[in-house]
Structures are given as structure tokens and as C-alpha cells.
Amino acid sequence: MEITYYSRPNCGLCKDGKRMLNLVREDIPFEVKEVNIEQDDALHEKYMMMIPVVEKDGQIIQYGVLDYITLLEGLGAD
């Protein structure tokens, strides 16, 4: 399984979110495709107030302050 992680450089919440994803990864194996929203104007406009954003199969699992339970439930449900 692969998830998309929308973030940008120098974003504290994004760094925290990445750590949370790594914790969830200890229980559920998945790959992370990290996307810098600053490299795409459309993505920047769409997600600039939401990042970090975790997306699986085109659906947003969670954004902003990421928590373990929400991610575990969202990513574990196939």
C-alpha cells in the first residue's frame, strides 16, 4: 500500500506528522510518497491551509495535527 503525504519544507506540523506516520508504520506496512506542495501551484492552493495531509487511494485520511488512532484506522481499513 502507498499513501501520499502532502507537506512543505520548514513545516513543524509536517515533521511531527512524519514521525507519527513512522509510528503507525511499525504496525501497518506502507510506502510514503512525499509531495512538496510548494512545487505545484494547484496543490499549494488546495492544501496550504491543511498540511500535512495524508491521502490513501485519493481519499484524505487526516490533515493538520495527525494522531495515531485516526491514521491506524484510516490506513488499516482496506
**pLDDT the model gives residue 77:** 56
* Domain boundaries, position 16: 2-76
| CATH number of domain containing 37 | 3.40.30.10
What's the N-to-C CA distance of the chain in angstroms? 9
Q: Is the pLDDT of residue 10 over 90?
A: yes
- Domains: count for the chain: 1
State if pTM tops 0.85. Answer: yes
The mean pLDDT value of the chain amounts to 94
Q: Has residue 49 got a pLDDT over 70?
A: yes
- Per-residue pLDDT band for 76 (boundaries 50, 70, 90) equals confident
Q: How far apart are CA 13 and CA 61, in angstroms?
A: 16
